[in-house]
Amino acid sequence: MIENGDVYRVMAIDKNGFHIHTNDDIERYIRYSEMGKLGIDLAPNLHIGKLKLEYRQKSKLEKDLLYGLNSESIDIIIATVKKKENYLEMKPYLVPEIFNELKWDMWVTKIRNALGIKIDDIYAQKVTEKEETKNEYVIKPQNFIVMVHTFSCSSKGHNLQSIQAVILTKAFDGKGLSSVSIPAGYCEQCNRYYILSSVYEEKRFLLKNALCDFVKDSELSSYLRNHEFDSNEFRSQSILNRCGYSVSRNSLLTRSERIQLLESIITNGVLSREEVKSFINWLIRFQGSNPIMYRALIEWEIDLKRIARDSDSVVVLVKQILS
C-alpha cells in the first residue's frame, strides 16, 4: 500500500503512530514501529510532500495558508510534528518552495497568535544564555525606534551595539500582547534604539500592530519636542489605548478580556500594577461627575477592583448593577 515515491496526507498523529489517507481515499493507521519495514523515514515528510504537490497543482494553497482559517493551518502543524511548539521543523520544507522568508514570518505570526505560543519559542536562536541576555532588549510602548538608512547613531561619534529588539505588539485578536524579534541597534550614550529602514520595510507586516513608535531620522527632533512635556496620565492613557484597552460600548472586549489584557500589560512590564491602578483611579476621579460617563465609570470601578484582585468587592458591585 505504501509505495516508494508516493505522498500521502497525514490526517492525525498520536504517541504511537499516525493516520494517513491513501490516493484511493482509504484511511490507514501506521505505527511508528512499522515505519522502517514500510520504508518510511519520517511521517511529517509524507505530509509536506503532499503539500508541495498540491502547491504545484494549485497556487491557491499559499493563500489558504496565509489568509485562510486558522484551524486549517493548525491542522497542518499538528499533523506535521508531534509537538505544536516545534513546528519550525516545517521551515526547510515550506521555504522556498511555498513561502519566501517574509511570507514565512507572516504565517508564523498568524499561527503563533492562534496557538498562543510566545515569540521566544518561535525565534529562539542557538546562542549561549549569556549572549542572549546581553543582546536582547524588550521595546515597550513608552520607547521609540529611529529608522535610519545606515547603521549609525544620529549623534556623531556614538557607536551602536547590535541587538535583538523584542518589540511588543498588540495581538491580532486584541485580547493581549505579543512580540516580534528583529535585528536592531542600541546607543548606550543616547539610550536610544535604531533600526535600518530596509529591515523595517521587510518586517512591516509583522510590525503593523507594534506598540512603540517608529520615527524617521529626519523627524526625530520634532518628535522629541512634541513628547517632551507629556504628563504621567497622558502617557498611561496613550499606552493603554495602544494596547487596546477600552470600556466603550464599541469595544469588542468583554469584562474578562479587559482584565486579561491589563494583566498581560503588567506581566510584560509595560506598566506596573500600581501604575494601572493609579491611571484607572485618575479616570474615575476625572470623569466621575460627568453623567454621560456613568456606564464607563461603572466599568472602570469593576476593572479597578479586579486588577487590585479584590474579588469580593467586584461581586458586590456587579450585584448592585444588576439589581
Residues 153 and 221 in one domain: yes
Among 97, 117, 137, give the residue marking a domain's end.
117
pLDDT, residue 194, reads: 94
For residue 2, tell me if it sits in a domain: no
- For residue 159, give the C-alpha cell: 557607536
Contacts of 1-5 with CB under 8 Å at 24 or more apart are: 1/28, 2/30, 2/38, 2/39, 2/40, 4/39
pLDDT, residue 174, reads: 67
Residues 161 and 141 in one domain: yes
Residues 134 and 215 in one domain: yes
Residues 45 and 73 in one domain: yes
Residues 70 and 14 in one domain: yes
Residues 220 and 240 in one domain: no
Residues 15 and 100 in one domain: yes
For residue 122, tell me if it sits in a domain: no
Residues 247 and 309 in one domain: yes
Residues 194 and 278 in one domain: no
Whose CA is closest to 280, among 299, 293, 295?
299
Residue numbers of the domain that contains 204: 129-226
Q: Within the chain, which residues score under 70 in pLDDT?
A: 1-15, 21-26, 36, 38-50, 53-54, 57-59, 78-89, 92-93, 95-96, 116-134, 172-174, 229-233, 310-323
- For residue 28, give the C-alpha cell: 490507514
Contacts of 257-266 with CB under 8 Å at 24 or more apart are: 257/175, 258/299, 258/303, 259/303, 259/306, 259/307, 260/175, 260/176, 261/174, 261/175, 261/176, 261/177, 262/303, 262/307, 263/307, 264/176, 264/177, 265/177, 265/239, 265/240, 266/307
For residue 4, tell me if it sits in a domain: no
Residue 199: half-sphere exposure toward Cβ, Cα within 13 Å:
19
Residues 63 and 133 in one domain: no
Residues 111 and 13 in one domain: yes
CA distance 59 to 15: 33
Beta pairing, strands 27-31 & 9-13:
unpaired
pTM score, two decimals? 0.51
pLDDT, residue 108, reads: 76
For residue 245, tell me if it sits in a domain: yes
- Ranges assigned E (strand) in 6-143: 9-13, 17-21, 27-31, 136-139
Among 196, 226, 256, give the residue marking a domain's end.
226
For residue 166, tell me if it sits in a domain: yes
* Distances in whole angstroms, Cα of residue 228 to Cα of each of 143, 147, 192, 210: 13, 20, 15, 22
For residue 124, tell me if it sits in a domain: no
Among 191, 226, 261, give the residue marking a domain's end.
226
pLDDT, residue 118, reads: 57
Domain count, the chain: 3
For residue 238, tell me if it sits in a domain: yes
For residue 288, tell me if it sits in a domain: yes
CA distance 111 to 115: 6
Whose CA is closest to 110, among 173, 164, 59, 181?
173
Residues 183 and 274 in one domain: no
Count the neighbouring beta carbons within 10 Å of the beta carbon of residue 301: 19
Q: What is the pLDDT of residues 123-182, one digit of tens each?
A: 444 333 334 444 778 888 888 999 998 888 888 888 888 888 999 988 766 677 888 888
pLDDT, residue 85, reads: 61
